[in-house]
């Protein structure tokens, strides 16, 4: 039995539909507070072997009730939470309750009711802060590292900056601590630049999907910064494959990994716009002020994931962008 929190969100919907197609029983709990989650929930309600519960894991009683009905949970994927840095700065108490308190409640439920299960927590590269300790050089279309570094591992120092980083970092550390203190089987994935189907992106999260959607709609885009920030795109289908590989593994050493598309899938916003132009689209944009604590460059070192789970992303950068364009074109049709 799988339990997926936030299962009607972007990643959750893709994961749950994949599990349903595999014939795996899965219970979804989601409070449907995110944009687009109601529509995603309708898809899940029609999927076989999916049990959908509308609930909020910030309420411990909700998890107590869930445990009475689900005594045999073996796989937990924790995706519920608040995903916007700007929203976290506007309402830090709500951000903390959703990302930190809700996560601690779930860990307590795992400890009390499902101690033999394995859990995956979707953390974020934002736990590393702005990475301002590294001096980037500015190229024509992207920022680069002068020392030739192209990817980061989890040996980066954790520097929590801004509400979202602090709340997700708190949950990140709790998952790692419960692994050490209570010997729970927890896995932390510090994810970056995931994109794909069912992502209701905004200017503050899901940048590749957002830029694609705005370009297709013919709207002028206000950038945060000059567009030279670099990320490594990862299609959500490849991320789901990673979740399955982790859950299918007999043992997980270390318990904490950076997750992205890796150096081969790194791209700046300006380079992304060039790819949209190649596909016949006409992005229009203006440079603007940087977001607080924004990273000029982040690319994940995915080598440890390949070594331990045999996982590498299947889709290359061009395929990822083609799928984004097709999905957003389809979503925009009446």
Partners of 234 in beta bridges: 194
| Three-state SS at 287 | coil
164 is catalytic: yes
β-sheet with 50-54: strand ranges across: 50-54, 26-30, 2-5, 75-78, 118-124, 185-191, 256-259
Residues 140 and 147 sit within 8 Å (Cβ to Cβ) = no
Q: What is the dihedral of CA 236, 240, 245, 248, to 10 degrees?
A: 170
Q: Is the CB of residue 133 less than 8 Å from the CB of residue 102?
A: no
Between CA 6 and CA 3 the distance in angstroms is 10
Q: How does strand 137-138 pair with strand 143-144? A: antiparallel
What's the token pair of residue 224? Answer: 């945060």
Q: Given 128, 134, 143, 164, which residue is catalytic? A: 164
Which residues are designated catalytic?
A: 164
């Amino acid at each position: 039995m799988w339990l997926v929190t936030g299962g009607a969100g972007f990643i959750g919907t893709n994961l749950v539909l994949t599990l349903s197609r595999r014939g795996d029983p899965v219970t979804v709990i989601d409070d449907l507070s995110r944009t687009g989650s109601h529509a995603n929930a309708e898809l899940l309600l029609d999927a076989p072997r999916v049990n959908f519960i509308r609930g909020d894991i910030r309420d411990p009683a909700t998890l107590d009730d869930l445990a009475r009905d689900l005594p045999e949970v073996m796989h937990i994927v924790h995706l519920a939470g608040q995903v916007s840095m700007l929203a976290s700065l506007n309402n830090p108490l709500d951000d903390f309750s959703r990302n930190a308190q809700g996560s601690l409640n779930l860990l307590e439920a795992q400890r009390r009711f499902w101690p033999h299960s394995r859990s995956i927590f979707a953390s974020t590269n934002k736990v590393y802060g702005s990475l301002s300790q590294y001096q980037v050089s500015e190229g024509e279309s992207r920022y680069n590292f002068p020392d030739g570094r192209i990817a980061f591992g989890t040996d980066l120092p954790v520097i929590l900056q801004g509400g979202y980083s602090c709340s997700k970092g708190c949950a990140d550390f709790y998952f790692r601590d419960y692994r050490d203190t209570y010997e729970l089987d927890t896995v932390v994935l510090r994810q970056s630049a995931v994109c794909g189907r069912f992502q209701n992106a905004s200017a503050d999260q899901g940048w590749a999907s957002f830029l694609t959607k705005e370009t297709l709609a013919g709207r002028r885009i206000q950038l945060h910064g000059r567009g030279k920030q670099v990320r490594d795109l990862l299609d959500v289908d490849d991320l789901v494959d990673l979740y399955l590989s982790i859950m299918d593994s007999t043992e997980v050493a270390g318990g904490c990994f950076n997750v992205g598309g890796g150096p081969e899938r790194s791209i700046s916003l300006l380079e992304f716009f060039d790819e949209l132009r190649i596909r016949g689209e006409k992005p229009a944009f203006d440079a603007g002020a940087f977001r607080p604590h924004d990273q000029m460059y982040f690319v994940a070192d995915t080598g440890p994931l390949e070594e331990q789970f045999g996982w590498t992303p299947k889709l290359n950068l061009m395929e990822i962008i083609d799928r984004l364009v097709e999905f957003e074109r389809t979503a925009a049709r009446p």
